[in-house]
Amino acid sequence: MELYVRASIPCRLRVIYDMASGQRALLADNESYSGDSAKGDRTKKVFSFTCEPPFGVETVHVFARTEKFDPIKTVTDGDNIIVAEDLKDFLFSTRGMKRAEPGIQQTEARLILTTIDDNSHH
């Protein structure tokens, strides 16, 4: 599976993948992206990966911000960088009513998908 994003202005990207295992993998953090402000149609490949067990409902969260994101706590688990923060604390730091920071724009998108074992149809 390949993940692409499109943005109309230069920004920083943070991509978090909620896996069926319950872990939250950090796929990209503060990755710089320069969109085409005239066309708004340039895409960037953020990540490529294969789907492995456990399979099930998973979610990709893509955050884009015109300034760097605040650091988040992570741990390394094999090849994955796992978000170690509590979900409630993490969401509080990225959402909600807060004092606006002048000139900073932020948005997010979420993709819910179901991974399956394509070898199970024998």
Domain residue extents for the chain: 2-115
Residues in the chain: 122
Residue with tokens 């979900």: 87
> What gap in Å lies between CA 50 and CA 36, rounded to an integer?
29
On the question of pLDDT at 13 being above 80, the answer is yes
**CA 107/CA 82 separation, integer angstroms:** 22
Q: What is the pLDDT of residues 41-80, one digit of tens each?
A: 577 888 888 888 899 999 999 999 999 998 989 999 988 8
pLDDT at 120 over 70: no
Residue 14, pLDDT score: 93
| pLDDT: which is higher, 37 or 111 | 111
Burial status of residue 8 (CB atoms within 10 A of its CB: 0-12, 13-18, 19 or more): middle
Quote the pLDDT of residue 57. 95
* Alpha carbon distances (Å) from 34 to 11, 89, 108: 6, 29, 17
pLDDT in tens, 82-114: 999 876 776 666 665 556 667 888 888 999 999
CA distance 59 to 16: 8
What pLDDT score was predicted for residue 68? 92
pLDDT of the residue at 56: 93
34 falls in which pLDDT band (50, 70, 90)? confident
- Per the structure block, which two tokens stand in for 118? 């394509």
Q: What is the pLDDT of residue 96?
A: 56
- 58 and 30 Cβ atoms separated by less than 8 Å: no
